[in-house]
Amino acid sequence: MEYTENLQIEKSETSKINSVNFNKLDFGRVFTDHMFVCDFADGKWQAPKIMPYQSLSFEPSARVFHYGQAVFEGMKAYKDDNGKIFLFRPDENHARINKSAARLAMPEFPKNYFFKGLEALLKLDSEWIKPGVGNSLYLRPFVIATEPAISASPANSYKFIIICSPAKSYYNSPVRVLIAEEYSRSADGGVGYAKAAGNYAAQFYPTSLAQQKGFQQVIWTDANTHKYLEEAGTMNIFFRVNDKLITAPNNDRILDGVTRKSIIQLASDLGITCEVRQITVEEIKTAARAGELKEVFGVGTAAVVSPVSAFEHKNELFEIPELENSYGQLFKKSLLNIQHNVSEDKHGWRYEVK
Amino acid sequence: MEYTENLQIEKSETSKINSVNFNKLDFGRVFTDHMFVCDFADGKWQAPKIMPYQSLSFEPSARVFHYGQAVFEGMKAYKDDNGKIFLFRPDENHARINKSAARLAMPEFPKNYFFKGLEALLKLDSEWIKPGVGNSLYLRPFVIATEPAISASPANSYKFIIICSPAKSYYNSPVRVLIAEEYSRSADGGVGYAKAAGNYAAQFYPTSLAQQKGFQQVIWTDANTHKYLEEAGTMNIFFRVNDKLITAPNNDRILDGVTRKSIIQLASDLGITCEVRQITVEEIKTAARAGELKEVFGVGTAAVVSPVSAFEHKNELFEIPELENSYGQLFKKSLLNIQHNVSEDKHGWRYEVK
Ligand SMILES: Cc1ncc(COP(=O)(O)O)c(C=O)c1O
Ligand SMILES: Cc1ncc(COP(=O)(O)O)c(C=O)c1O
C-alpha cells in the first residue's frame, strides 16, 4: 500500500509556551501546542493530521481500555546553537514501533507518515526545543486500539498519535536499585521485547515495594531463575568490572534499546571492551566484594545515562564507590555531544529536520 | 475510608433497545442505555454516577494509553421467568478486581459502590436482560488510569466504569485448540493472575497464528518449560481422563476463574473426582492415544463451558470424539440452571438484584 496523502495542518491559535517554566519541568506533564494524529480504518491508515494538542473522545468500549492493545516509542529532538533541529537515529524508533505493533497484532505505520509527522510537528513547535546540551523535546509516538467492541481480539481501528513534552537539562543523581528476586517483568515467548503498554503497568507495584525500601528502581532478572540480570524499568543496563563493560544480550524479554546499541558502538570506537552476554547476579556480587565492580549504569532515551550508586540482593546491600574516570559519564557526554551537533557524527546517527 | 455518597442518576432520554436484534448479537458490540462512572481523584473515589452510555474525553497523555494501567472484570446478569434479576457470585468479581488493581498499583474500589452501581444500572436497563436460559447481560466493570502525564509510574487519577452488553443464548460449537510451544501468556512473578489489560493484547498475535492454522484458541503452557497445561485466552481448562477430571492449580500465572471454582464444587457435589494439580502435555497426549481422554473443555463467564474437539501439539493432531454423557454439558446445564433461578442454589451463589 502506498501512503502519499498530504498532511493536513490545523494550527493552534494561541501558544501555551509563555506559561511554561523551562527551568523547572517535571518529566512528561507539559505538552507542546500541537499533536499529530492518524487513524487506521477500513484496512488502511487514513489522511494524517496535525492539530492543536487536545483531549480526544473515546467510546468506553474502545479496546485499548480493556485489552491493552497499545504500543509506544520514546525519542527526543535536540537543537544546536544555530537553531538547527536534530533527531537521533529515528529510523530505529520507526522500526521498533512496527516490531512492537506486529507482536500485538496491530498494523505497521508507514515510514513516510512517521517522518512527515515528526518533522512538521517539530517545525511548528520549534520554539519548544531549547538549545543547550541536555535540553530536549521528548517525543512520544503511540498507537492505540480504538474499536468500540469488547471481544478479546485485535481491533479494526487504531489511532497513531505523537505528542511532545519539553524535557529539562538535568543532572541525574545516582539511583539505588533492588535486584528482582520474586517479581518479573516478562516471560520467554512474551512481549518484553516490545514497547507494549502493559509491560510498564506490570512493573509499578514491584517498583513501589522497592521504593518503600529506599530504592528508586528494580533491576529485572529472568523470570525462570532470577539468576540473570536483564534491564531496568525504562533502561538497559551496563556493568563495568575493572575496565571491561558487560551488558545482557537482546532476547524476547528485553527491549532492544537505541541508547544501549549506541553505547556498544561508542565503546568499540574507544577501544573499551564490551561483552554482550548473560550476566549472573552472583558474578556481579563477587566482583563487588572484590572491589572490581567499578560502575553500574542504566541507559535510555529519557535519562541518557543514569549511574547506579548501590544495589541490594537477598538483603545484602552493595555500595558502589564514586569513580573518577567514569565510563558512564564519558558515554553520556559523547552521546549528548553527538545529539546536539557539538561533535563529529561518524556513524550518521544525527538526522537533521529541515 | 468510608464510602457513603449517594449515587447520582442521569437517565437517558431515549432507548436504543428497539434497534437491537436480540436474536443476532455479536459479542460485546452493542451496549445498553446507561453506564456507571466513578472517578478517583485527590486520594479518594468521588461521588459515583450513572449516565447515558456515551463517549468520554481523555487527554492523549492519559496513562492508560501509554502504560496499560487498566484492569477489568467480566460478569453476567440473568433474568428468570418472573422477571427477577440475578448475579452469580458477584462478591468474587469484586474481590478479584481489587486483587488485580493491587497488582497494578491501582486503588481498590469500595464494595458498596460496586454493588450500588451494578444494581442501579441493572434496574435501569432491566429490559435489556432477556429471560430464557442462556440469555444474559454481560457486565464489564473496568478501571483505567486517566492522569495526563507520561512518566512511567502509577497514576493519581482513575475512572471506574461499568458498561453492559446483551449476550445471546448460543450453542457453542466445539473449538479446535493449539497447545503453545513457543509463545507464552505470562511469567512467574508477573501479572497473569490479574485481569490486567495487557495480558490480553499479548495473546492476540500468537492466537492469530493459531487461527491461520485452523485453530480457534491457544492453550497456554508454562513459560519456562512449555510442559504444563495452564489455561486458554479467557477460559480455564478441564481435562477428563476416563471418569476423572483434572484442572491446573491456581498460581501467579493463571486467572482464578469463578466458573472453574464453581465447577470444582459441582463435581464434588456430584461425586465426580476432580484433581487440581499440574498437568503435563505428555500425559494428556498419552491419555488421548490410549483412548482415555474423554473430554476437554474451557470454562469462563462468557462461554460458560466450551467443548474442545481437537488439539494439536508438535504438529501432532488429536481429535477428541464426541461423547454421550459429557461432564462439560452436565456442568453447563447445572450452572445455567442455578444462574437462571431454575434449580436449587445450595451454595448461595445467586445474588438477587432487588
Ligand atoms: C523497557 C525499556 N528498556 C530500555 C529502554 C531504553 O531504550 P532506548 O535507549 O531506545 O530509549 C526503554 C526505553 O525506551 C525501555 O522502555
Ligand atoms: C485469562 C482468563 N482465564 C479464565 C477466565 C475465566 O474466569 P471466570 O470464570 O471468572 O469468567 C477468564 C475470564 O474471565 C480469563 O480472562
pLDDT at B67: 98
Does residue B344 lie within any of the structural domains?
no
DSSP letter for each residue of A163-208: EEEEE-------EEEEE-SS--S--TTSSTTS-BHHHHHHHHHHHH
CA-wise closest residue to B232 among B283, B179, B274, B170: B179
Residue whose CA is closest, atom 6 of ligand 2? Answer: B300
Q: A179 — contact with chain B (CB < 8 Å)? A: no
Last residue of a domain, one of B167, B197, B212: B167
CA-wise closest residue to A198 among B190, B283, B297: B190
Based on the domain organization, do A25 and A156 belong to the same domain?
Answer: yes
Based on the domain organization, do B183 and B149 belong to the same domain?
Answer: no
Task: Report the number of distinct structural domains present in chain A.
Answer: 2
- In this structure, the number of other CB atoms found within 10 A of the CB of residue B300 comes to 21
Last residue of a domain, one of A134, A167, A200: A167
Based on the domain organization, do B157 and B21 belong to the same domain?
Answer: yes
Shortest distance between the Cα of A40 and any Cα of chain B, in A, equals: 16
In the chain, the amino acid numbered B157 is S
- Which atom of ligand 2 is nearest to B260's Cα? 9
Based on the domain organization, do B187 and B161 belong to the same domain?
Answer: no
What's the average model confidence in pLDDT over B143-172?
Answer: 92
Beta bridge partners of B88: B350
| Coil, strand or helix at A3 | coil
Q: B208 — contact with chain A (CB < 8 Å)? A: yes
ipTM: 0.97
Does residue A350 lie within any of the structural domains?
no
Does residue B37 lie within any of the structural domains?
yes
Where in the sequence is the domain holding A82, given as residue range(s)? 2-167
Q: Measure the CA–CA gap between B77 and B71, rounded to whole angstroms.
A: 20
User: Given a cut of 60, is residue A207 above it in pLDDT?
Assistant: yes
What's the average model confidence in pLDDT over A239-268?
Answer: 97
pLDDT at A214: 97
Beta bridge partners of A221: A229
User: Given a cut of 80, is residue A45 above it in pLDDT?
Assistant: yes
Q: What is the mean pLDDT of chain A?
A: 96
User: Given a cut of 60, is residue A170 above it in pLDDT?
Assistant: no
Binning pLDDT at 50, 70 and 90, where does residue A173 land? Answer: confident
Does residue B353 lie within any of the structural domains?
no
User: Given a cut of 90, is residue B267 above it in pLDDT?
Assistant: yes
pLDDT in tens, B313-353: 999 999 999 999 999 999 999 999 999 999 999 999 999 99
pLDDT at A253: 95
Does residue B349 lie within any of the structural domains?
no
- In this structure, the number of other CB atoms found within 10 A of the CB of residue B126 comes to 15
Model's pTM, two decimal places?
0.97
In the chain, the amino acid numbered B323 is L
Domain with A29 in it: what CATH number?
A: 3.30.470.10
Based on the domain organization, do A195 and A146 belong to the same domain?
Answer: no
Does residue B286 lie within any of the structural domains?
yes
Strand segments, DSSP code E, in chain B are 8-9, 34-41, 44-45, 49-52, 56-58, 70-72, 75-79, 85-88, 136-145, 158-167, 175-179, 217-219, 236-241, 244-247, 274-276, 293-300, 304-313, 316-319, 350-353
Q: Measure the CA–CA gap between A261 and A263, rounded to whole angstroms.
A: 5
Based on the domain organization, do B31 and B94 belong to the same domain?
Answer: yes
CA angle A221, A305, A79 (to 5 degrees): 140
User: Given a cut of 90, is residue A271 above it in pLDDT?
Assistant: yes
Based on the domain organization, do A26 and A69 belong to the same domain?
Answer: yes
Q: Measure the CA–CA gap between B196 and A172, rounded to whole angstroms.
A: 32
Binning pLDDT at 50, 70 and 90, where does residue B171 land? Answer: low
Q: B59 — contact with chain A (CB < 8 Å)? A: yes
**If you compute the radius of gyration of chain A from its CA atoms, what whole number of angstroms results?**
21
What's the average model confidence in pLDDT over A303-309?
Answer: 95
Least confident of A170-174, A295-299, A344-348, B249-253: A170-174
Among A58, A72, A150, the residue with its CB nearest the CB of B28 is A150
Based on the domain organization, do B252 and B155 belong to the same domain?
Answer: no
Domain with B304 in it: what CATH number?
A: 3.20.10.10
Does residue A354 lie within any of the structural domains?
no
Q: Which three cell numbers stand for residue A265?
A: 558502538
Residues B161, A113 contacting (CB under 8 angstroms) = no
Last residue of a domain, one of A151, A167, A183: A167
Residue whose CA is closest, atom 6 of ligand 1? Answer: A300
What's the average model confidence in pLDDT over A52-61?
Answer: 98
Based on the domain organization, do A183 and A329 belong to the same domain?
Answer: yes
Helices within chain B (DSSP H only): 63-67, 90-103, 111-124, 197-212, 258-270, 281-289, 327-339
Based on the domain organization, do B77 and B153 belong to the same domain?
Answer: yes
| Residue B211 CB-density burial (10 A; 0-12 exposed, 13-18 middle, 19+ buried) | middle
Based on the domain organization, do B68 and B131 belong to the same domain?
Answer: yes
| Coil, strand or helix at B64 | helix
Per the CB < 8 Å rule, is B205 touching A105?
yes
Based on the domain organization, do A154 and A272 belong to the same domain?
Answer: no
